[in-house]
């Protein structure tokens, strides 16, 4: 139980860090000031989790009560701002970190909802929300249509990760730790493969053109 | 009591369906992918209700716990995507469905707040929120100024519907079922008339021009 | 205690009024209709406080239960619409009122979180949220990148105001009333000085150019 708790804790911090870096990078590219970068980093890192906690009645939301989340977000911001030339030269670091955070958050989000005693649907929906909520808020605040809704398989990977967690909880086909590890790996793999091979879901409305913007 | 409950249940499902179709149609026109269309449909259908439930402490929000809402949203998405040529050719179907959902949600939203024991102001504000919240989130996510804030009488119709519910609750001028039916009809009629005759509220800032964008 | 409560009450109403005017002015400039102006005014005035109340479990949020907030918001809307030529001619009235609201909300937001028994971090984060939340929602709804994230010291002033409140609570270096007054004055002064002398936080991504849009 203690080990499980440590695992959860590590996953959430790692996810926070990954998302904060992706948020800070996006905010920096839009030329926000230092506070703006920090705020977007924090919102991406904790936004999805805060919505999840409000929906399951975990008051006050974990993202607001624990200093470590704020420290992680500020650290990530510092790194992104201070070492931006390095971060920029890395090959698609934002997308990589984003995939890490996506997987971590989908799994921990679904698990937290189950731990609070809610049903599989709540867990699935809040797993997705935890995973993509921060990114959607980021895009809405930076004034663009959320990327995750038009490009490459993203939220669908979170959906699959959350579904694995829910199926593990209900069918008990493995211990919770193993279920977590499998769900994480599957979600992360799907996302990275989708990025590498440009997998997209069908867009029934036709291809996106600049004229639509 | 049982009958009333059935009526509520039907109203909420019908509203969900109507809003999901309006959301899916808007998302498809912006060329979102399948998941994006489904997500916008779900958010429009349940977004207002989720905000309402958070505000009245109905945890977890009904939109997240009941499979039927998700099924209705997915079905509406499927119909909109699969039969888009049909949906498109219908005369202003989006606007019609939107008016149906608007009326249903304004009434049920106000009633749920009253059932939880809150006062008339909360009921009125949350009736409007339930009715227009999903549409506002849709427009914010699709990166445009919410339509409801600049064109034709929309939220005002929801306001009147919610006010009728509140007055019925406080003055007891009719049974709750009759109040519901009257509030629904009035709200729907105002909205449809506003659409037909292009009724607008005054825009004190002058007419909207492209230059303002 | 009673006096303190009266002070709180006055601060919150004054902040509501100031924010409502700033919201109504911005909405009017975007040519929203009467309901849209009123809705934006209400959202700016109460949006931050509603998010705070949801996060600390103050259900239903104060912004929804008290008629006076709605009356203040509507009054502010009426003044802005009716006397717009006057409001417009005043020198930067929006910015002034915004600074007043910013200071009031940062202080009362942090204090309410502390009164509910939460720790300093929650109080600091929710002080900022109460202060800037409404403005962020306004900008997101009016479809622009939140001003506060790119221009002049704004949220940072709220951060300092909230930090003074938290330090006063934990170190007890003065009575709560004095702490409030000092926090208010410092936050307001910083904001006004930042406006007058165009103080900006560093923007690591370089200066904002139109090409970035």
Domain ranges of chain A: 2-199
The C-alpha angle B64, B65, B66, rounded to 5 degrees, equals 105
Q: Per-residue pLDDT averaged across C86-99, rounded?
A: 66
The 3-state DSSP class for residue C61 equals coil
Q: How confident is the model at residue A145 (pLDDT cuts 50, 70, 90)?
A: confident
Chain-chain contact of C50 with B55 (C-beta, under 8 angstroms):
yes
Question: Which of C134, C132, C135, C127 minimizes the C-alpha distance to C106?
Answer: C127
pLDDT at B23: 85
Cβ distance A168 to A174 under 8 Å?
yes
Q: Is C81 on the interface with B (CB under 8 A)?
A: yes
pLDDT of residue A8: 64
**How far away is chain C from the Cα of B191, in angstroms, using its nearest Cα?**
14
B85 touches chain A (CB under 8 A): no
Q: What is the mean pLDDT of residues A195-202?
A: 77
Q: What is the dihedral of CA B95, B101, B105, B106, to 10 degrees?
A: 40
Neighbour-count burial of B80, counting CB atoms closer than 10 A to its CB (0-12 exposed, 13-18 middle, 19+ buried) = buried
Residues of A in contact with C122 (CB under 8 A): 60, 64-65
Most confident of A70-74, A161-165, A206-210, C149-153: A161-165
Distance (Å, whole) CA C24 – CA C81:
8
Least confident of B88-97, C34-43, C80-89, C143-152: B88-97
pLDDT at A165 (0 to 100): 92
Residue B21 pLDDT: 84
Indicate whether C211 pLDDT > 60.
no
Write out pLDDT tens, residues B13-43. Answer: 777 787 888 888 888 888 888 888 888 888 8
**pLDDT number for residue A2:** 59
Find chain B residues with C-beta within 8 A of C143's C-beta.
140, 143-145
| Structure confidence at residue A153 (pLDDT) | 79
- Which run of H or E residues covers position C160? helix C155-171
Mean pLDDT: which of B101-105, C187-191, C203-207 is highest?
C187-191
pLDDT band for position A208 (cuts 50, 70, 90): very low
Contact between chains at A204 and B66 (C-beta distance less than 8 A): no
* Chains within contact range of chain C (3+ C-beta pairs < 8 Å): A, B
Tokens of C7: 């002070």
Neighbours of A183 (CB within 10 A): 26
Q: Contacts of residue A207 in chain B, CB cutoff 8 Å?
A: 31
- 3-class DSSP state of A153: coil
Q: For chain B, what's the residue count?
A: 213
Work out the mean pLDDT of chain B and round it to a whole number: 81
Buried (b) or exposed (e) across A15-32, using 16+ Cβ within 10 A? Answer: bbbbbbbbbbbbbbbbbb
**C164 has pLDDT over 90:** yes
Q: Is pLDDT of A113 > 50?
A: yes
A touches which chains (3+ CB pairs under 8 A)? B, C
Residue C155 · residue C132 · CB < 8 Å: yes
- Shortest Cα distance, chain B CAs vs residue A85, angstroms: 31
**Looking at CA atoms only, how far is residue B130 from chain C in angstroms?**
14
* A44 in reach of chain C (CB within 8 A): no
Look-up of token digits 């913007």: A213
Inform me whether the C-beta atom of residue C138 falls under 8 Å from chain B C-beta atoms.
no
- pLDDT of amino acid A141: 86
Across the interface, do C149 and A34 touch by the CB < 8 Å criterion? no
Chain-chain contact of C208 with A59 (C-beta, under 8 angstroms): no
Note whether A145 contacts B140, CB cutoff 8 Å.
Answer: no
Is C204 in Cβ contact with A28 (below 8 Å)? yes
How many CB atoms are located within 10 Å of the residue B204 CB? 18
Quick check: B59 contacting A, CB < 8 Å? yes
Q: Which residue of A has its CA nearest to C116?
A: A60
Per-residue pLDDT at A101: 82
B123/B52 Cα distance (integer angstroms): 10
Task: Give the pLDDT score at A125.
Answer: 92
Q: Which of A50, A145, A158 to mutate to test the interface with B (most CBs of B within 10 A)?
A: A145
Residue C66 contacts B, CB cutoff 8 Å: yes
DSSP alpha helix (H) spans, chain B? 2-29, 34-56, 62-65, 67-82, 84-89, 93-115, 120-141, 155-171, 176-197
The 10s digit of each residue's pLDDT in A86-112 is 666 654 666 777 788 888 889 989 999
Within 8 A of A86 by CB-CB distance, chain C residues are none
**Whole-model pTM?**
0.85
**CA–CA separation, B98 and B44 (whole Å):** 10
Q: Taking Cα atoms as reference points, which of A134, A42, A25 lies closest to residue A81?
A: A25
Q: Is pLDDT of C186 > 90? A: yes
Q: Between chain A and chain C, how many beta carbons pairs sit less than 8 Å apart? A: 89
| Helices and strands, counts by H and E, chain C | 9, 0
Grade residue A4 by pLDDT with cuts at 50, 70 and 90.
Answer: low
Lowest mean pLDDT among A35-39, A199-203, B89-93, C207-211: C207-211
The mean pLDDT value for B85-109 works out to 75
Mean pLDDT (chain C) is 81
- What's the pLDDT score for residue C7? 67
A11 falls in which pLDDT band (50, 70, 90)? low
Q: Cα A213 from chain centroid?
A: 26
Q: B interface mutation test: which of C64, C73, C145 has the most B CBs within 10 A? A: C64
Name C25's Cβ contacts closer than 8 Å, sequence gap at least 6. C80, C87, C93, C94
| C31:B208 CB<8 A | yes
> Which residue does chain A place closest to C54, by CA atoms?
A54
Q: What is the pLDDT of residue C198?
A: 77
Residues of C in contact with A66 (CB under 8 A): 121
Distances in Å between the Cα of C61 and the Cα atoms of A30, A49, A171, C102 are 34, 21, 40, 19
A210 in contact with C at a CB cutoff of 8 Å?
Answer: no
pLDDT at position B46? 86
pLDDT tier for residue A186 given thresholds of 50, 70 and 90: very high
* pLDDT score for B162: 92
ipTM of the complex: 0.80
Q: How many CB atoms lie within 10 A of CB B177?
A: 12
Question: How much of chain B exceeds pLDDT 90, in percent?
Answer: 14
- B36–A122 C-beta distance less than 8 A: no
Q: What is the pLDDT of residues A47-63, one digit of tens each?
A: 888 999 999 988 888 88
CA distance A39 to chain C (A): 8
Contacts for B112-120: CB closer than 8 Å, 24+ residues apart: B112/B52, B112/B53, B112/B56, B112/B58, B113/B52, B113/B56, B113/C60, B114/B165, B114/B166, B114/B169, B116/B56, B116/B57, B116/B58, B118/B56, B118/C60, B118/C64, B118/C65, B119/C65, B120/B166, B120/B169, B120/B170
- Mean pLDDT, all residues of chain A: 81
Region of poorest pLDDT, from B66-80, B103-117, C45-59, C88-102: C88-102
The predicted structure's pLDDT at residue C160: 92
Query: Residue range B184-207: average pLDDT?
Result: 81
């Amino acid at each position: 139980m203690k080990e499980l708790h440590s695992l959860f804790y590590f996953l959430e911090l790692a996810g926070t860090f990954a998302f904060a870096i992706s948020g800070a990078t996006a905010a920096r590219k839009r030329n926000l000031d230092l506070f703006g970068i920090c705020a977007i980093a924090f919102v991406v890192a904790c936004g999805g989790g805060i919505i999840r906690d409000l929906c399951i009645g975990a008051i006050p939301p974990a993202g607001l009560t624990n200093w470590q989340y704020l420290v992680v977000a500020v650290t990530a911001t510092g790194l992104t701002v201070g070492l931006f030339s390095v971060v920029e030269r890395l090959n698609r670091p934002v997308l990589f970190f984003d995939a890490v955070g996506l997987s971590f958050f989908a799994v921990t989000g679904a698990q937290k909802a189950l731990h609070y005693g809610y049903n599989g649907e709540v867990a699935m929906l809040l797993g997705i929300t935890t995973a993509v909520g921060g990114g959607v808020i980021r895009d809405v605040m930076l004034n663009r249509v959320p990327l995750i809704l038009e490009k490459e398989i993203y939220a669908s990977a979170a959906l699959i990760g959350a579904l694995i967690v829910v199926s593990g909880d209900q069918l008990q086909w493995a211990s919770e730790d193993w279920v977590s590890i499998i769900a994480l790996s599957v979600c992360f793999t799907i996302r990275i493969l989708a990025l590498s091979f440009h997998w997209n879901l069908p867009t029934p409305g036709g291809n996106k053109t600049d004229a639509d913007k």
